[in-house]
């Protein structure tokens, strides 16, 4: 069987492949949430990685994997149409977090997929998605419609090295979004940002990283 473990060793971020795909941290706050499983043998590790990587790119099901008390994610293509397929570069994600709705976007927070990719060589495999806060593609607004301002990114990865598989979320350059003309939105964004810095975002991403690797599907 595979065991789900909370991984706190930040040395995992020093892997060259991860350094290549995770954006650099320049300003604001950063975050790092991850879990891993240790598999029985090479064939088991490859099978577990395949399941986790497939889950990662099926964004519409993240809520199912993470659990009912977590945020829901809805995938849209680059023209703003709701879709149900594996995520691609330039797609949009609407995120509905537990808590105060976003008054500027019918309740949701929006990010755009700026990069996706896969790598495989020897006993290493990687699947990743990087998103950045953005405007609501269903309207004409270009200002970010998210509680983080536009420099902020989140990178979601499934990484296998030999018999170990890690699921992780890397947050970079996180600043509260103060651009809205709506006072209530700015207040809401500040409190959601503050909650994220106090650990609420970590609970969300821990539930997701655990769910992407959960042993019952292996």
What is the token pair recorded at 121? 């060589």
pLDDT at 199: 65
Least confident stretch, 9-13, 26-30, 31-35, 115-119: 9-13
Give 66-99 pLDDT, tens digit per residue: 987 788 999 999 999 999 999 999 999 998 887 7
User: CA–CA separation, 137 vs 150, rounded Å?
Assistant: 14
Asked if 62 contacts 54 with a C-beta cutoff of 8 angstroms, the reply is: no
pLDDT at 204: 86
List, in order, residues 6 or more apart from 120 with CB less than 8 Å away: 126
pLDDT at 188: 75
Give 107-152 pLDDT, tens digit per residue: 788 999 999 999 999 999 999 999 999 888 888 777 888 888 888 9
Neighbours of 91 (CB within 10 A): 21
Asked if 16 contacts 189 with a C-beta cutoff of 8 angstroms, the reply is: no
3-6: strand order across its sheet: 3-6, 29-38, 164-174, 153-161, 124-133, 109-121, 92-96, 72-76
Helix/strand/coil (H, E, C) string of 121-146?
A: ECCEEEEEEEEEECCCCCCCCCCCCC
Least confident stretch, 85-89, 98-102, 202-206: 98-102
Query: Among 151, 155, 174, 176, which Cα is nearest to 29's?
Result: 174
């Amino acid at each position: 069987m595979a065991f789900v473990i909370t991984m706190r060793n930040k040395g995992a971020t020093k892997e060259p492949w991860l350094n290549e795909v995770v954006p650099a941290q320049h300003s604001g706050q950063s975050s790092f949430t991850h879990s891993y499983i240790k598999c029985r043998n090479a064939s088991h590790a490859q099978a577990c990685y395949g399941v986790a990587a497939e889950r990662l790119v099926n964004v519409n099901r993240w809520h199912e994997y993470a659990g009912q008390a977590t945020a829901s994610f809805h995938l849209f293509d680059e023209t703003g149409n709701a879709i149900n397929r594996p995520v691609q570069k330039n797609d949009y994600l609407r995120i509905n977090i537990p808590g105060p709705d976003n008054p500027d976007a019918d309740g949701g927070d929006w990010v755009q997929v700026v990069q996706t990719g896969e790598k495989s060589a020897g006993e290493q495999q990687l699947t990743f998605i990087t998103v950045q806060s953005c405007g609501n593609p269903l309207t004409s607004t270009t200002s970010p419609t998210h509680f983080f301002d536009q420099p902020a990114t989140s990178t979601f990865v499934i990484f296998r090295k030999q018999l170990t598989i890690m699921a992780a979320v890397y947050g970079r350059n996180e600043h509260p979004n103060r651009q809205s003309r709506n006072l209530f939105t700015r207040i809401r964004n500040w409190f959601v940002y503050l909650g994220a810095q106090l650990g609420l975002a970590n609970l969300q991403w821990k539930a997701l990283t655990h769910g992407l690797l959960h042993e019952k599907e292996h």
